[in-house]
Amino acid sequence: MLNHEPIQNAEPLAHYLREFWLATRGNPEHLAHLSFSAGGALPSAFAVTDFASAAIGAASLAMAELMAVSTGQWPALNVDRRLASFWFGTSLRPQGWTLPALWDAVAGDYQAADGWIRLHTNAPHHRDAALAVLAVAPQRDSVARAVAGWNADELETAIVERQGCAAAMKSARAWAEHPQGQALSREPLLLLENTTHAARASWQVPAQRPLRGVRVLDLTRILAGPTATRFLAGFGAQVLRIDPYSWEEPGTVPEVVLGKRCARLDLNRPNERATLERLLADADVLIHGYRPDALERLGLGAERRRQLNPALVDIALDAYGWSGPWRGRRGFDSLIQMSTGIAEAGMRVLKRERPTPLPVQAIDHAAGYLLAAAAIRGLTTRLTSGAGTVARASLARTAQLLIAHSSAQADASPFSAEHEDDLATPIELTSWGPARRIKPAVEIQGTPMQWDYPASALGSAHAEWR
């Protein structure tokens, strides 16, 4: 049964939901169709539970709108705030096995001579870049001693110039005064445009699986993009994820590939690039997280994609924004939290002695649901007018929304401990062993959220549509 209990202090939730929805050019009157369950909150210097609930709510509202456009009737729609918070952490509960560690031995926060810096070293080439700059072996004590001799901003610059990933901790005020922060403040939450009209699509939108028959090409990795495509798969979309042969994400893949088929291609090989072009020509949605010029260098820039598929819903994600001096800079949720003032605010508000990030990687997850909402609204636009859609989001701009409309939640009533009723009944036979999942956070009446495939290893499928 859908829960319509009132929520105490719903102001941050309402702010976030409205901003997410309006960013997709959604009709504000449609917000009335969405309800939220009551409950506690994740302890944080920011309203993380409201942020999570609003992001999932916006994507869910887009799904309900697509169904309403097809059937003429809005389904009842509710988001469970407690379950939304769990999904912003991890939904997977292994049964009799253990996930690999999320972070490698070097990754983490270090004290530099004048402040804190975070090194992101999960990918071998990023670790090699940081160690080359520091001229040390991959041992945490050695790294800490070397970092202590650097100015944080100077070390960040040196590692980034070496093609690595690092972020010096800044306050929100310092970020607002930074050239990249200033550029970001002029960007909308979602850069959105409709493209040349093509033949109007004529697919059916079945109530139980509204995205059945929709083909989604997934060129994303950790963590926002895969979150978006996992949401689409939950409503029946055929999601095909493509990775290079060398790429692995042992700590996150079992979490995010639920419902997808995963294949590998080397896009530097002409024949395999041609395979991707064929897939792209037959796709309905493309979601990609490549750096802004990467696809252009492969001959698959925006113009080429539009030539191959005029009605494509083309969704992209960048880390630090689409303008400014840091446009195209590599970045991840944990680095964005350091750059934009989130980790500093947590440290200060909660009176901690070191950077204090959000209790979950909320920037990644929220950006992912924003991408999903943009994709679904793009499908609605195509269904009604035949036009394609181009949408671009960034982690840093998503973080700015959290900061701008938040209120401290450190003293909020916490959730009760996870219990058996929070878990879905079916056992998921993943490539790594049996597992269970947290129940979906969204309930759309008559439209259960469920996945057609268990989480499977990268490269376990062929690069073809079914």
Position 338 pLDDT exceeds 80: yes
Q: Is the pLDDT of residue 136 over 70?
A: yes
Note the pLDDT tens digit of each residue in 52-99: 999 999 999 999 999 999 889 999 999 999 999 999 999 999 999 999
pLDDT digits (tens, 9 = 90+) for 96-124: 999 999 999 999 999 999 999 999 999 99
Rounded distance, CA 358 to CA 366, Å? 13
In this predicted structure, what is the pLDDT of residue 445? 95
- The rounded distance, in Å, linking the Cα atoms of 436 and 423 is 7
pLDDT of residue 343: 98
In the predicted model, what is the mean pLDDT of residues 270-296? 94
Q: Is residue 1 a contact partner of residue 35, using CB atoms and an 8 Å limit?
A: no
Rounded CA-CA distance 71/75 in Å is 10
Cβ burial 21-35 (10 Å sphere, 16+ → b, else e): bbbbebeeebbeebb
What is the separation of C-alpha 50 from the centre of its chain, rounded to a whole number of angstroms?
16
Evaluate the CA torsion angle 168, 173, 178, 179 in order and state its sign. positive
What is the per-residue pLDDT for 207?
85
Q: What is the pLDDT of residues 356-387, one digit of tens each?
A: 999 999 999 999 999 999 999 999 999 988 89
Cβ proximity of 250 and 100 under 8 Å: yes
Give the model's confidence band at 410: pLDDT under 50 very low, under 70 low, under 90 confident, else very high.
Answer: very low
In 236-284, which ranges are E strands? 238-243, 260-264
Q: What is the mean pLDDT of the chain?
A: 93
Q: Quote the CA–CA distance of 30 and 416 in Å, as a whole number.
A: 32
Average pLDDT score over residue span 147-161: 98
What are the CA-CA distances from residue 134 to residues 111, 146, 215, 216, 442 (Å)?
Answer: 14, 6, 45, 41, 46
> In this predicted structure, what is the pLDDT of residue 411?
46
Tell me: the pLDDT tens digits for 169-191? 999 999 999 999 999 999 999 99
